[in-house]
Structure 1
Amino acid sequence: MRISLNWLQEFVDVKLSPQELGETLTLAGFEVEDIDDRRQLAAGVVVGKVLSRDRHPNADKLSVCSVDVGSDAPATIVCGAANVRAGAFVPVAVPGVYLPAIDLKLKPTKLRGVRSEGMICSLTELGVEQSSDGIHIFASEGESGSETLHPGSDVRPLLGLDDVVLDLTTTANRADALSVVGIAREVAALTGAPLRLPSAPSEAIDASQAGETLSIVLADTDACPAYIGTTIAGVTIAPSPLWMQWRLQAAGVRPINNVVDVTNYVLMEWGQPLHAFDRDRLQAVAGDASVAIGVRLARAGESLVTLDGQARELQPQNLLIAANDVPVALAGIMGGETTEVNDGTTSLMLEAALFEPVAIRRSARVQGLRTEASSRYERGVNQAELNRACQRAIGLLVELAGGTVVDQAAADTRLEPSQWSRLVELRLNRVNALLGPVQTDDGSVGQIESEDVERILKALGCTLQKFGGTAETTGIVWKVTVPPYRYRDLEREIDLIEEIARLYGYDRFLNELPDRTTSGGYAPAQRATLQVREALRAVGLTELVHYSLVKPCGEEVTLANPLFAEYSALRTELLSGLIDAFAANWARGNGALNGFEIGRCFWQEADDLHETEVVAGILGGDRAPLGRWAAGGRSEPLSWFEAKGLLETAIARLGLHVEYRAVPDAGDRLHPGRTASLWLEGEQLGIFGQLHPQLQRDRDLPAATYAFSWELSLLQAALTREDRLRPCLQPYSLYPAVARDIAFFAPLELPVNCFIRVMRKAGGTLLENVEVFDEYRGEHVPEENRSLAFSLVYRAPDRTLTDEDVEPLLQQVRDALVSAFDVTLRS
């Protein structure tokens, strides 16, 4: 936002220098990015009167002019402009003047043998315009038409160059500061200077000249809570007065004509976007002298040519202004070309409206169009001053373009004016608890006093009612009434405390570090997550990161205001993103992307939203991609047991033990016969299995690709148990182990894990390890059975075990298997 100091001075007396004002605003949260001192563009340039013009003796296109520049004797200046003439008042740069626009310092010189003592300037050379045809010639009176020109006087007030422009950035919550009035309020609050707001006289409607009926129809009152349409007849299109052009140029807006410039002027002054329609064109588009202005969403197939000449295909998200249901403007963004004000316009329909930020943001994004108006609507326009800004524009239009207000119609669903303010409770002890010690006015260290709080908030336009407590106990509480123009961003006590901090001065808060500091660290759950991440990396998996937002395709939680349709829902699981990443890398010849991801998943139950952290992964491809020569150049897919072994290695690094159980229903994404659930300490940790063959064919994946998904909270709970946070060291046994084998016939439906669990329980404390090493199905094996062989390892910490020690323990295992499963022992 570019703020002209001359414009600002109209509303508040600024006694600070531009640099001091810029520093004050920056400390208050409005970062001043640049200070454009326009006074330097024509410093030292004076008004000159051309007394005579003679042809240059040695050049056909040059003239030798005698120019009165207010000194004792006229100056002789050689000029190459074709429009120079005797009697003209012109800007003259005398010797010693520096012109930054063309990087030139004037000094006396000779041009084709004739001495020249200065330069008659064009507006381009003074930095006012991009290009100029010839030198600038003032009218016989001052440019504003109110003062007489005097040779030797400063030209800057005549060209609008006696100004300084501050280019500042406002935060997203301060929509009220996107205006000169908004910044004037801030400066008044920061400096204590009185505030003078521009008057907005009410123009009476001339009933005798009332023409066609104007009506307003709001189809969507949520998107457009208020709309005011005013018909002004008998206007004359002409250039704006120079003072208005200068202020618009300082604000970065190109002057067009008096009508358009008034709407832009009020936009910059009050932050309220306006739009002027040519009333006659509006009636022609509507097809009737009686025009009903409507606000509605676009329908399929509609289009509109906007003021920039672009034919735009309208989408259902576009909010439109319609005349008798015919689109004439993109609401809050840009008007239409068919109803724009032109040189032949004689009557207007002035629009002043409120549009909801979400509706305008969505509409502008769909069209890829952002304007000064939409940027303000997207942040939220002050609803309390809509009528005032409208009256201000009407007054300027009547003053500068003539005409008469003949009709006005409005539709208003806003709250009552009494409800435009908000009551917020503020506690002094809460202010000091959050802001801490500060440097007081006398230089000592103290706390913000109640008088400071009241002074700051009253300067912002708040009213305060104090009750409860005393200054000694810091128990003072206020009921603060927020002014209507800050209704959108001052909602809670913390918002008021932030305003107190801003205006008290961030530079007055103490910056000493505390006497004592404590070392930081991770919480137990965070350390557990880091352990899981480290373990999975250690077995060769790469960590992947995907967006939490996905394209909706089922029961996902959808966003109310998504940026893109492809990212409009919250993911419910991680495997889809991992499969997509694996498939993309495989298709591009990058090999198998064996990776894992730790992230949040979301779901909805009834009206409640839930989220949890999940760790998931995918792996597959060639078991030895760098050693294929050992297999004769053939690719050997990773087997189910090898993939399972990698995960077991990772889990073992965490000091945990999981059990595998068969899954009756693996879904349509995992192989029905090669999927198992994982159980940790009696709770289901997650699932592991091979991807379904149909999915593998559809996505053109390797022959054997595996995936897993675990609940991170269960891993965190197991890793943060007291016995694992403080592990006890156990020495290794120095004595040899004794191995025994056991074999038996078992039913096919019983998983191996069931036998291992029973053997571990029956084997006693000396049983160190149980491992299956053989499975056989076929001849000599009973039907619906298989032969399983296990190796059991026994070890004692204090001696070498003998057969007499091991045999009773092994018999306990045999008895337990027969009792639990009715197996047929073979050994």
Structure 2
Amino acid sequence: MKVSWKWLGQIIDLQNIEFDKLTEKLTMAGFEIEETYQLRTLQDKIIELKLTANRQDASFLIGIAREISTLLNKPLKNHYHHIKANNISRTCNHVSYQSLSDLKLNIIINIKNRHSPKWMQNYLKSHNIEGTNLLNDITEYINLKWGQDIEIFDARKIGINSISNNKIQILNNSNISQIIDEKNYSYNISPELLQYKNTILSVIGIKSNHHLKCDLNTSSIIVCGTICQSTYIQSIIKKLNIKTEKSTKHRKKILRCDFLYAYEEAIRLISTFAKGIIGKAYTYHRLPYKHKNLLVNKDDIYNILGPIKNHYNDFLSVKEILNILDQLNFRSTYNYIKQIFTIIIPEYRIHDITRPIDVIEEIGRIYGFEKFDDGLPQAINRGLTSDERQITKKVRTILRNLGMHEAIHYSLKRKNKYYQNNRNIIELYNPLSEDQTILQNSLFANLLEIQQYNINQKNFSIEAFEIGRIFIKNQISQNSINTQQNQEQICIACIMGKPNFLRSSWTDEPKELSWFHAKGILEEFFEKLHAAVAWKQFTNSDITKINQKIADLFNLKRTSTIYNPITEESIGFFGQLRHLSNYNLEHCTTYIFEIQLSGLMQTINYKNHLKYRIKPYSLYPSVTRDISIKLHNHENIDTIRQKIINQKNNLLESIEIFNEYKHNNNKRNISLRVTYRAQDRTLDDKDLTKINQEIKYILKHNIK
């Protein structure tokens, strides 16, 4: 949209306003300025604006002038924006049309269609429009100034000198091919037509009859203005498959206040420059405009806009808010008891001011968003981190310290052969591509792809882990009815193993990771988390919980289920992969585990305090005695050891098992090393003799 500085100055007083200052205000108010330049031939400056879809009320000169008037807090010279519905004369007919909200027709006879005045030609030139004749230039001028399409038809080509109301008809069963000559036009569609006698003036809201265009020989004219129902225009455009500039304006809802002003100015310009005699007008109006009230809470304004900068955290006062609303031409009142503003929106803003937040945005825009403090309030208390977040952070740290590399993948996957017959897979209804058709229901497939990629790239196979979300579809039975419920879980998965994982010494050859060593790494992970888990053999019921084709990847004899020993619920699995040639893992023993985070958290023993007793070291030497005990194979040495400890002898420091020898007669010899130490003295023979007698007594009554 182009705005002429000279013609803008005729609507609003810009004498003390700088051009650059105005463009800056428009930019800060949300209008994008694409370009500014000078027209030296017309001694004018042009501002090119780019409007948003919700501000079509500013897409013409009067509309942008209203906006500048609000920004500068200066009234328009002719008070264009103070139109009230009560001051507009109406003629309401009993007939109701589907297409029309307003219609005005006037016939003017004995006119002289000449060239337009110089000032009008200059106005059109500032918008790159060349003048042709007075009547055509007036329609272009009204369109640029008011955004309204006022149509002027040559009455001589119709053969009339005065308007008769009974000859004006709106029909929808006529052939419109003489006006609409589009190839895609369907003759089964019958939009409403404006017709006088037997001549079609226009397809209402779509296109005018170009055969009735005015020329320099025109002596009588029909001036026509319409406002159409936007719903009607949308349906007709869809059916006719055409789109015109006129239909686009009607779809954006033409305002009646602007329509009446534009029509009256068009009649005045014609009568002034073309002379002529103005006949009686034909007017149709459908429904009056209903004012829309919005209720805005004062606290909402304060909470959204915030305090004013450099005002000691003061907010906008009620008086300032009322002044801004008045500046916006919003009629408003304030209830001091309820602290609520009641606001009446003017007609030309009813399409973009529909909610209280829109009013608050306008208050901030006019006052200046840059004047409000946009800093976040100082936090008094730090936010609490969830247990899930803390455990996730701890898991990540432990696995990294164990030498693992973290991997991150998308949750969307391609449906490959491992997911073909899996009923637990959640598929997308409308995927963006073939690579994003399902949601992943496990993480270890991602780790296999990482291992395969590194081996294909001649890189070393790596130990990697991933903490991510999986999505599964569970069968839930309620009242003997099976239903499906989608479930989201956070899981931890890890892959380990390469040909040269470890070596006993520098002279030995490196060996691959063994099953017990891999299990030991996982147990160390649980120990650092203080998680008490249990292990059991992988069974057929565990296979059914995951995809059969995925289970085929594992060596089931070396696969274990990890479960909660208290609830006996499975929380994951650990297993050795087969030597898979399609993953280039035929020469490397690889291990994978996958654990549910929620199930793992239930096994963690959260220690709120340390159950340790602090005592000083003894400064006196210790005495050790070795005891050999002969037991049957079914007897447990740990039971005997614990009974010795339960004597609670202060001189007994430790008992260790250091040797075992098995006989062929289902017996064995076990050697114990008992350590004695006193805190305040050196032990003598009497102390040792007493302790030995106690131990002999225990052994005598507990060994058969």
Name the TM tier (shorter chain).
Answer: 0.5 to 0.7
Q: Give the TM-score taking structure 2 as reference length.
A: 0.54
What's the CA shift string for 1:334-368, capped at 9, x where partnerless? 31112211222111111111112233344445556
Match of 1:136 in 2: none
- What pairs up with 1:247-646 in 2 under 5 angstroms? 247-283=123-159, 292-297=167-172, 302-305=176-179, 313=185, 316=189, 318-324=191-197, 327-364=200-237, 370-415=243-288, 419-439=289-309, 445-469=313-337, 476-513=339-376, 515=378, 533-534=411-412, 596=437
CA distance in 1, matches of 2:540, 2:245: 84
Going from structure 1 to structure 2, the CA distance change for 1:217 and 1:371 (only over 3 Å counts) comes to farther
Choose from 168, 178, 189 the match for 2:59: 178
Report the alpha carbon displacement of residue 731 of structure 1 after superposing the two structures with TM. Answer: 3.4
Is the 8 Å Cα contact of residues 165 and 282 (structure 2) preserved in structure 1?
A: no
Report the alpha carbon displacement of residue 460 of structure 1 after superposing the two structures with TM. Answer: 1.8
Report the alpha carbon displacement of residue 476 of structure 1 after superposing the two structures with TM. Answer: 3.2
Is the 8 Å Cα contact of residues 541 and 596 (structure 1) preserved in structure 2?
A: no
Report the alpha carbon displacement of residue 395 of structure 1 after superposing the two structures with TM. Answer: 0.4
Match of 2:324, SS state, is helix
Is the 8 Å Cα contact of residues 325 and 331 (structure 2) preserved in structure 1?
A: yes
User: Residue type matched to 2:535 in 1?
Assistant: Y
User: Residue type matched to 2:251 in 1?
Assistant: E
Match of 1:439, SS state, is coil
Match of 1:328, SS state, is strand
Match of 2:78 in 1: 197
Match of 1:407, SS state, is coil
User: Residue type matched to 2:179 in 1?
Assistant: V
Match of 2:626 in 1: none
Going from structure 1 to structure 2, the CA distance change for 1:35 and 1:535 (only over 3 Å counts) comes to closer
Contiguous gaps of at least 5 residues in structure 1 = 40-155, 201-214, 470-474, 543-572, 583-592, 599-614, 616-652, 660-677, 686-710, 740-764, 769-827
CA distance in 2, matches of 1:311, 1:289: 36
Going from structure 1 to structure 2, the CA distance change for 1:323 and 1:281 (only over 3 Å counts) comes to same
User: Residue type matched to 1:507 in 2?
Assistant: E
What's the CA shift string for 1:602-653, capped at 9, x where partnerless? xxxxxxxxxxxxx9xxxxxxxxxxxxxxxxxxxxxxxxxxxxxxxxxxxxx9
Match of 1:46 in 2: none
Report the alpha carbon displacement of residue 375 of structure 1 after superposing the two structures with TM. Answer: 3.3
Is the 8 Å Cα contact of residues 263 and 275 (structure 1) preserved in structure 2?
A: yes
Match of 2:486, SS state, is helix
2:43 is equivalent to residue 29 of structure 1: no
Report the alpha carbon displacement of residue 511 of structure 1 after superposing the two structures with TM. Answer: 3.7
Is the 8 Å Cα contact of residues 2 and 252 (structure 1) preserved in structure 2?
A: no
Is the 8 Å Cα contact of residues 39 and 126 (structure 2) preserved in structure 1?
A: no
Is the 8 Å Cα contact of residues 93 and 285 (structure 2) preserved in structure 1?
A: no
CA distance in 1, matches of 2:276, 2:325: 43
Q: Percent identity?
A: 21
2:556 is equivalent to residue 715 of structure 1: no
Going from structure 1 to structure 2, the CA distance change for 1:383 and 1:682 (only over 3 Å counts) comes to farther
Is the 8 Å Cα contact of residues 470 and 490 (structure 2) preserved in structure 1?
A: no
CA distance in 1, matches of 2:186, 2:129: 27
Is the 8 Å Cα contact of residues 13 and 77 (structure 2) preserved in structure 1?
A: no
Report the alpha carbon displacement of residue 170 of structure 1 after superposing the two structures with TM. Answer: 2.3
Is the 8 Å Cα contact of residues 30 and 169 (structure 1) preserved in structure 2?
A: yes
2:10 is equivalent to residue 10 of structure 1: yes
RMSD (Å), alpha carbons:
4.8
CA distance in 2, matches of 1:174, 1:259: 30
Going from structure 1 to structure 2, the CA distance change for 1:295 and 1:392 (only over 3 Å counts) comes to same
- What pairs up with 1:655-670 in 2 under 5 angstroms? none
- What pairs up with 1:202-213 in 2 under 5 angstroms? none
Is the 8 Å Cα contact of residues 92 and 286 (structure 2) preserved in structure 1?
A: no
CA distance in 1, matches of 2:570, 2:54: 68
CA distance in 1, matches of 2:362, 2:20: 23
CA distance in 2, matches of 1:519, 1:21: 49
Structure label with greater radius of gyration = 2
Going from structure 1 to structure 2, the CA distance change for 1:320 and 1:655 (only over 3 Å counts) comes to closer
What's the CA shift string for 1:466-496, capped at 9, x where partnerless? 2224xxxxx6322222223223333332221
CA distance in 2, matches of 1:434, 1:766: 49
- What pairs up with 1:761-776 in 2 under 5 angstroms? none
User: Residue type matched to 2:167 in 1?
Assistant: A
Report the alpha carbon displacement of residue 241 of structure 1 after superposing the two structures with TM. Answer: 1.0
User: Residue type matched to 2:276 in 1?
Assistant: G
CA distance in 2, matches of 1:731, 1:364: 70
CA distance in 2, matches of 1:457, 1:504: 10
Contiguous gaps of at least 5 residues in structure 2 = 82-90, 393-407, 421-426, 442-468, 492-528, 542-567, 572-704
CA distance in 2, matches of 1:428, 1:270: 36
Is the 8 Å Cα contact of residues 170 and 194 (structure 2) preserved in structure 1?
A: yes
Match of 2:53, SS state, is coil
Q: How many equivalent pairs are there?
A: 446
CA distance in 1, matches of 2:27, 2:471: 55
User: Residue type matched to 1:448 in 2?
Assistant: L
Match of 1:305, SS state, is coil
Going from structure 1 to structure 2, the CA distance change for 1:497 and 1:679 (only over 3 Å counts) comes to same
CA distance in 2, matches of 1:292, 1:397: 24
What's the CA shift string for 1:660-687, capped at 9, x where partnerless? xxxxxxxxxxxxxxxxxx97997645xx
CA distance in 2, matches of 1:270, 1:428: 36
User: Residue type matched to 1:508 in 2?
Assistant: K
Going from structure 1 to structure 2, the CA distance change for 1:654 and 1:385 (only over 3 Å counts) comes to closer
Is the 8 Å Cα contact of residues 179 and 207 (structure 2) preserved in structure 1?
A: no
Report the alpha carbon displacement of residue 409 of structure 1 after superposing the two structures with TM. Answer: 0.6
CA distance in 2, matches of 1:736, 1:25: 71
